Amino acid sequence: MALPAMRSRETLSRWDPFREFGDLNRWFDTLAGRLDEAPRPWSPSADVSETDKQYVFEVELPGVKREDITVDLTGNRLAVTGELKEQEREGVFRRRTRRTGRFSYRVLLPRGVDGDAIEASLEDGVLTVRVPKSDPERPRRIEITAK
């Protein structure tokens, strides 16, 4: 006895085992979004170089305006903080990978820097902070006098 053939108007598609993982990731993202409403600060990428006279920090901040960036020096701690504001958009996001919101880059400077002569400039989305080294203290001879 032959079994009847089942026919359907839908086309057959291959089973993709990773499709369920994508659905699961979207579910976790929505759940995490509901539990953690406050956006977390992110840390921008930065290059640090040293010359004989200074330390140079190049922090990538594309799309951030100069007035939205703060550079602070407290003791020997250098902090670059600010916010990348989100642009108004129409429609629904289908995929979002760019970062927005508060950011923070912090670094502990070595001893022997001149905190009063630090310079910062923003050009082409790169914040360059130049921290000059202070002159090394030279030993000096103290003359001993008799009383």
pLDDT (tens digit, 9 = 90+) per residue, 18-55? Answer: 666 666 666 666 665 555 555 678 899 999 999 999 99
Is residue 130 predicted with pLDDT exceeding 70?
Answer: yes
Whether the predicted model's global pTM rises above the 0.75 cut: no
Beta strand 46-50 pairing with 77-84: unpaired
DSSP state of 116: G
How far, in Å, CA of 75 to CA of 106, rounded? 13
As a whole number, mean pLDDT of residues 112-126 equals: 92
Identify any residues that bridge with 78 across adjacent strands, giving them in sequence order: 73, 107
